[in-house]
Amino acid sequence: MKTLYFDANKSELVILDQTRLPLTEEYISISTPRRLYDAIKNLEVRGAPAIGVAAALGLYACATRLEDKTPRGFRYGFEKTADLIASSRPTARNLFYAVERMKGALNSCDTVEEMLESLKKEAYKIEAEDIRLCRNIGINGEKLIKDGFTILTHCNAGMLATAGIGTALAPIYEAKARGKKIKVYADETRPLLQGARLTCFELIKNGIDTTLICDNMAASLMAKGKIDLVIVGCDRLAKNGDFANKIGTLSLAVNAKHFGVPFYVAVPSTTADISAETGEDIVIEERENREVTRLFFEKPSSPEGVRVYNPAFDVTPHNLVTGYITEKGIFTHIKGAAE
């Protein structure tokens, strides 16, 4: 199962439409700025690392179709396209990281041919790096998982959220590959059920013993001693160790702290934001009302006209984090994780 890839024959980004999972596995081809913007904005591709890779490969696809073939005109057109894509979602650091690198790929290029070749190399490099980072996070995080452990996770930070085997789910896949018997509880993750639809989908597909729970069941499981470890993903990491992740992560961290359950965040270096001193500097995306008031934008689930507050993420303070699983190792303090 590939979350996304570049079709070199057609010069198109191809993504698995995650809004249709788990019922339908349908791929979408993308080659225009507006379609790439919409795919990210509408969560057809989602997960911080996957958004970054999609932006890089998608920007290259768009660049091959720019009409102005003069160096100055091409550069201007590409930068305008890059700015549009960067405006699609405000929180995930990987999106901006990828856009910045793709813009930087034009430095020292004089001709359009050189620019296209440089963009192509940079896009593939960003994809390859994400695959490698995920793999190393899995290898490092697997050390935390003992045979027979039960792990709780929130939202989706697996294969569907990256170009590789995931971040938060990578240690789980690595533990299974090493023959460890493990069990996973997956929060449903409201309002769009990424845990129920996506995490359960890929874990079951990969032979992991998986149980779906409502978000508000996590504390009761911890109280009964049924959770050995919590691992979640990260969309943006501040310098002091505060981090943004899917809404509901903060509640999970508070509960884990209260019940003495180790709480780890899997975070690749591409998600660290050195410009954010603390979590207060992280911009939190607010999404449209209908994600809450209508089940998958169809059947109403609340009274007409009710006010809605729908932040996509919350910020978990560093003092609730047991450790940070990175491609460099596991860190109990922020210095090694964010730098």
Q: Which residues are catalytic?
A: 235
Cα–Cα distance, 132 to 268 (Å, whole number): 10
Cα–Cα distance, 66 to 59 (Å, whole number): 11
- By residue count, the chain amounts to 339
The DSSP letter of residue 185 is E
Q: Taking a C-beta distance cutoff of 8 angstroms, is the pair 161, 51 a contact?
A: no
The DSSP letter of residue 272 is B
Q: Taking a C-beta distance cutoff of 8 angstroms, is the pair 325, 144 a contact?
A: yes
The DSSP letter of residue 286 is B
Q: What share of the chain is helix, strand, coil (3-state, %, to 5)?
A: 45, 15, 40
The whole-angstrom distance between residue 112's C-alpha and the CA centroid of its chain comes to 32
Helices (H), the chain: 33-41, 48-63, 71-86, 93-104, 112-141, 170-177, 194, 200-205, 218-223, 249-259, 290-293, 334-338
CA distances to 4, 157, 263 from 28, rounded to whole Å, are: 9, 21, 36
